[in-house]
Structure 1
Amino acid sequence: MEAKLANRNRFRSDREGSSLVSGLLHGFFVFMSAFCIIPIVLVMIASFTDESMLRTSGYTFFPKMFSLAAYHYLFLDIGQLIRAYGVTVFITVGGTLISLLLSSLIAYPMSRLDFPYRKMLSFYVFFTILLNGGLVPWYLVYTQIIDLRDTIWALIIPGLLMNGFNVLIMRTFFSNSVPVSVIESARIDGAGEWRIFFQLVLPLSVSVIATIGMFTTLAYWNDWFNGLIFISESKYFSVQYLMTKALLNIQFLSSHTENANSAKMISEMPQNSVIMAMAVIGVGPILISYPFFQKYLVKGLTVGSVKG
């Protein structure tokens, strides 16, 4: 009887200790989530705050006056903004899919021990991480040799294989997480290399593909530098470049207030709230869509290759 009571007390104390640790962990993650969400909420509120209140009272969660002047200024040319969103969505989706395909096609042979040139190819990919040709040769290749200026491909091709680190991550995943026995059994059943890759290796690699795809998507969505370098026609402007251009115009007008017309425009322009509205317009869609794609990332982390 005493042994039963001792075991019951021990079980109760272990459960209480586990509940305490679980509560502390939940509290920590709630704090970290709030630490990340609160600045985003503040930016959204500031974008709807009257400019005079931002100048006098600063940023606050409870502004006394709301205004849509910042969004009215950004939506003066709504057609251009919609077109820029279309360009951004196209280069993000197309660039991510092509980049994932090319990266996986390079990483998979590097992970195969029977591939004769795997070390040479691995060194070549790793070398591009350490060294690059520089900005001027990079620009000359894409303008003089390939001639991508003022084309939609100028926003896609430069970012396809610029990150060899993603290739090495995929290679490591293929080597460690895709059993050789599964590949050999598929080959014995008569499957070719292409069928093994597309119907066996890729379905078993959802987690790494989702992770690299998420990073690539963010890189394409946030890219404005390629538009600044290669694009001069407004029909190919991305939303990030359009926002950057508007911000540069505001900064230019702010630094040239000696001109009467510039001073009048700056006094009538909601400068601070416009910057916050740019951030909301630029990052809003990616924040809204991320929770819908997160389940595929979590699902990929739980998929096993060999079931017993």
Structure 2
Amino acid sequence: MEPIVHTVFEPQTSTWQYVVADPSTKTAVIIDPVLDFDPARNSITTKSADALLALVKEKGYTVDRLLETHVHADHLTAARYLQDKLAKDGKKPEIGIGRRIGQVQERFAKRYGIAQEECEGAFDKLFDDDEIFHVGELEAKAVHLPGHTPDHMGYLIGTNIFSGDSIFNSDVGSARCDFPGGNANDLFQTATKLFTLPPHYKIYTGHDYPPNAPRSTPQAASTVAEQMERNKHLKSGTSEADFVSWRTERDAGLAEPKLIHQALQVNIRAGRLPRDGLLHVPVKVEGW
């Protein structure tokens, strides 16, 4: 049996959010939900997350897990907000992520002066590599997909893998690997792992950045076969050495994401806002 997959695009950060449901039990998970952040006003709103809640209500789903593929650096997660809104009779859906999250929390808690206790227990479920879990009666698997970040997990549900920021649609290519703990060699091996899936399986991406003509509409997924044939960075026949050389050179010229400091501070807390209501933004001083 295959899941029902609802694809919901958030255009400000070009993020794909997913509601994935078991049709027989109407049990669902939400993957990589987004809070709306306005940097000009330094304000957070919940329009995108509320749209996910409306979809869940309309379809009659019961959400038992909120799944994060990794600690995002380009948007704020809505996991904590959704967890509170979806609580029923004292029970809340679990927020899940890969077991290496502790390494990421420790690194960025030090960077931003966040007390360790604000990170401890932020996530309810830490998945082991290849751990099996269930969405209703559907079997699912947590798959380690490092490269973009070391904690990165994908979620295989039926013939669909939700791969987060690992490889993107074939005309976009691959994710950057220059964040702390990122590694281009690891990302090449992640692509190799994804390409061992059956050719008809679908790879759902974490983002899409349509490259104008001939495609201007965001696309959520493509098949393994399509990726192997057309991915402009990682298609079959690409050598690891060539990919690593190109990716490293490319990443060296990229600017940091606009919301990186706000996102990391909120996301290592699984979407919980700071106790003092303050987010710290480092300042670079040059020529003084």
What TM-score do the two structures reach when normalised by structure 2? 0.23
Higher RCO, 1 vs 2 (CA within 8 Å, ≥6 residues apart): 1
Bigger radius of gyration, 1 or 2?
A: 1
Higher relative strand content: 2
In proportion to residue count, which structure has more helix? 1
